[in-house]
Amino acid sequence: DSGVTQTPKHLITATGQRVTLRCSPRSGDLSVYWYQQSLDQGLQFLIQYYNGEERAKGNILERFSAQQFPDLHSELNLSSLELGDSALYFCASSVLVGGETQYFGPGTRLLVL
Amino acid sequence: EDKVVQSPLSLVVHEGDTVTLNCSYEVTNFRSLLWYKQEKKAPTFLFMLTSSGIEKKSGRLSSILDKKELFSILNITATQTGDSAVYLCAVVAGTASKLTFGTGTRLQVTL
């Protein structure tokens, strides 16, 4: 158990819908990262927040957005869902901003039908 | 664009064998290389390497980085069925904190 928690574990929804994935980092970690893992793309970085502010952006679609709240938990919002958005979404956290180890949560498996 | 390549893609060995997994990278301003083990769900951290030539070791697992030749290896000795997993290599480079992952090596250890 890494100490990073994610909810829900599984999510099944329809195309065009909107969902919110939630992540709580390890105690004391200020940075939160979101990754998407699909069969054809592997693990891809989406976005990073550090102490409430967006720090880095990867291949995140405009339909996706995230935020980090004052208590440091983070939410990833996915809207206008498409079949291709079906994937495992991982949250990771680290103590500081960069270069050090990132610890991954158990992930949320999203299935868009 | 940062690139991380792992080989082999897949490997089947017998329990007790020793395996070597490879990771090469092409990145700008390398900072660190990390190895993760992914079984059913979340990648679990194994090692972080930042300096060339220094071996990191944990039990039967060890890893070393060659910054000149831009690669790392992960060795597993006396493999057990519990070592069956996908092993992921990731690199941190530049000013970004993101991990750039390779596609992974799927290791299956049979009895």
- The stretch B79-106 carries a mean pLDDT of 92
- The stretch B94-110 carries a mean pLDDT of 91
Would you state the pLDDT for residue A68?
97
Residue B82 in tokens: 């519990």
Statement: residue B96 has pLDDT above 80: no
Would you state the pLDDT for residue A99?
55
Specify the length of chain B in residues: 111
Interface test with A, best of B31, B32, B88, B97 (most A CBs within 10 A): B97
Cβ contacts of A87 on chain B, cutoff 8 Å:
none
B99 contacts B34 by C-beta, under 8 angstroms: yes
Tell me if residue A9 falls in helix, strand or coil.
coil
CB pairs under 8 A between A and B: 66
Q: Indicate the average pLDDT of chain B.
A: 93
* Whole-number Å distance between alpha carbons of B37 and B76: 12
Would you state the pLDDT for residue A41?
78
Nearest-CA distance A15 → chain B (Å): 25
Cβ contacts of A35 on chain B, cutoff 8 Å:
99
Residue with tokens 């194994």: B46
Predicted confidence band of residue B23 (pLDDT cuts 50, 70, 90): very high
- The stretch B72-89 carries a mean pLDDT of 97
CB-based contact B41 A100, cutoff 8 Å: no
Contacts of A25 (CB under 8 A, 6+ apart): A4, A31, A32, A72, A73, A74, A91, A93
Predicted confidence band of residue B98 (pLDDT cuts 50, 70, 90): confident
CB-based contact B45 A101, cutoff 8 Å: yes
Predicted confidence band of residue B97 (pLDDT cuts 50, 70, 90): confident
Statement: residue B103 has pLDDT above 90: yes
B21 contacts B105 by C-beta, under 8 angstroms: yes
| Residues with pLDDT less than 50, chain A | none
Would you state the pLDDT for residue A97?
63
* Whole-number Å distance between alpha carbons of B36 and A104: 10
- The stretch B10-15 carries a mean pLDDT of 97
Would you state the pLDDT for residue B94?
81
Cβ contacts of A99 on chain B, cutoff 8 Å:
31-32, 50, 92, 97
Cβ contacts of A55 on chain B, cutoff 8 Å:
97
